[in-house]
Amino acid sequence: MRVATEGRSGCGPVIPPLSEGLRPLRQQVFERIRAAGTIARVQLAKDLDVSPASVTTITSELIAVGLIQEVSAPREGGEGRGRPAVALGVRPTAHYVVGLKISDQDLSAVIVDFAGNRLADHRIDRRPVALTSAEVLDAIVGLVDAATLKAGMTRRDLSAVGIGMPGYIDSPAGRVIWSSVLSDRGVPLASLASAHLGLPVTIDNDANLCAMAELWFGAGRMLPDFAVVTIEQGLGMGMVLNHRLYRGALGLGMELGHTKAQLDGALCRCGQRGCLEAYVADYALAREATTALNWVYKDGQSMIVLLESLYDHAKAGNHAARSIFRRAGRYLAVGLANVVNLFDPPLIILAGARLRFDYLYAADTLAEMEAMVIETGRPLPRIEVHAWGDMLWAHGAAALALSTVTERLLSATSDIAAQ
């Protein structure tokens, strides 16, 4: 099992120059500097296959507007005479953003600087009940203020906010079409939160932001294509194609949890029946436990406590408890096989708190997935389990905010340079 770690050099996707032909050179230069952490001008020109003069012109503009800075670079072979080597790096203090995850059972936030360094985080538990729009907005404001206080900042120090939550999220429009977190539907949450915070706000589906976290800070930085399947209160999926998050034509794609696994099957929290999520997610395991083991689960009770008890019983040899995880694992195998047959990604990352329940991705589950994949004689995608912890989702939301800020700033820089 591979565990995702922090402390990498740079952040953001590492994109080969030949795949960036349609992207403005200014943006390519900045993103390459950010991805490298620190890089010399000559190496930058070599990596992007452009002239040193072009790199010098663009980096001078980026320095002038305060987005990057010159930093001391270590000499090869140790100390030497003459002027110290100089490299380029993103200026961390240029901007700060906060990423939030609003989920059924907890709220989390992380503040990062412009170079992607984490400065502070904050997490609180909450009762698993649907909230009104007003209650969600109050929670967002309280979460941002608590995180900025930990970082020694105020809201005025932030440049943007990214928010991730489960459900059908129209990210370009900033609208929550449906979410298990909200009792209301069709909520223009981005504009409402922006008005409350006095900051630009971008929202997205939480599984998409899990993929963003891997793309910016994890195993996906060097890969053009990969998939992330998340297992928590729900079952989600994020897909990266050609180094970019893929949302579908209307921004609502990759809803793996709501693909149908059985006609007229179990009731999903989305209101439909037979969704894959209704056989794999938290509430599916809790439903099976109350039926097979005659346990009682009441609204408002901690589902985590019930699931931990179910897992302990399975580890202790309880056949019924084991069969519950085994059944969920078989349905997960169906979902993963469908992902492979549809997209053929080189890597599928499994993420989320429920991956502590290793029965879900045991060897027999993955073997069953293999049996359902089209036989081509070629190797299957790698399956990796990443244990980022609770802040994974908020990191993805912070990456969303950083991406939004970067696009805006580089567009403004282009306008200035053209004058």
Judge whether 385 and 355 are in contact, CB under 8 Å.
Answer: yes
Domain count, the chain: 3
Question: CA-CA distances (angstroms) from residue 133 to 172, 183, 200, 206, 239?
Answer: 19, 8, 18, 18, 29
- Scanning the structure block, which residue is given the tokens 């990214």? 162
Q: Using 50, 70 and 90 to split pLDDT, how confident is the model at 7?
A: very low
pLDDT value of position 21: 52
pLDDT value of position 4: 35
User: Does residue 129 sit within a domain?
Assistant: yes
Q: Are residues 202 and 250 in the same domain?
A: no
Containing 170, the helix (H) or strand (E) segment is: strand 168-170
User: Does residue 141 sit within a domain?
Assistant: yes
pLDDT value of position 359: 66
Q: Is the pTM of this model over 0.85?
A: yes
pLDDT at 295 over 80: no
Q: Are residues 102 and 227 in the same domain?
A: no
pLDDT value of position 219: 87
Q: Which of 59, 92, 125 is the last residue of a domain?
A: 92
pLDDT at 58 over 90: yes
For residue 244, the SS3 value is strand
Neighbours of 121 (CB within 10 A): 21
Q: Are residues 67 and 108 in the same domain?
A: no
The first and second tokens of residue 314, run together, are: 């399975």
Q: Which of 54, 70, 92 is the last residue of a domain?
A: 92
Q: Using 50, 70 and 90 to split pLDDT, how confident is the model at 74?
A: low
CATH of the domain at 51: 1.10.10.10
Q: Are residues 140 and 164 in the same domain?
A: yes
Q: Are residues 373 and 225 in the same domain?
A: yes
pLDDT at 83 over 70: no
Q: What is the pLDDT of residues 164-204, one digit of tens each?
A: 999 999 999 999 999 999 999 999 999 999 999 999 999 99
Amino acid at 418: A
- C-alpha 258: how far from its chain's center? 19
Higher pLDDT, 38 or 359: 38
Q: Are residues 193 and 59 in the same domain?
A: no
Q: What is the pLDDT of residues 237-252, one digit of tens each?
A: 999 999 999 998 877 8
Q: Are residues 104 and 202 in the same domain?
A: yes
pLDDT value of position 77: 53
Q: Using 50, 70 and 90 to split pLDDT, how confident is the model at 48?
A: very high
Query: Domain residues for 353?
Result: 219-386
Higher pLDDT, 367 or 85: 367
User: Does residue 12 sit within a domain?
Assistant: no
User: Does residue 105 sit within a domain?
Assistant: yes
pLDDT at 358 over 80: no
Q: Are residues 86 and 99 in the same domain?
A: no
Across the chain, mean pLDDT equals: 87
Q: Which of 37, 66, 92 is the last residue of a domain?
A: 92
Q: Are residues 343 and 196 in the same domain?
A: no
HEC letters along 266-335: CECCCCCECECHHHHCHHHHHHHHHHHCCCCCCCCCCHHHHHHHHHHHHHCCCHHHHHHHHHHHHHHHHH
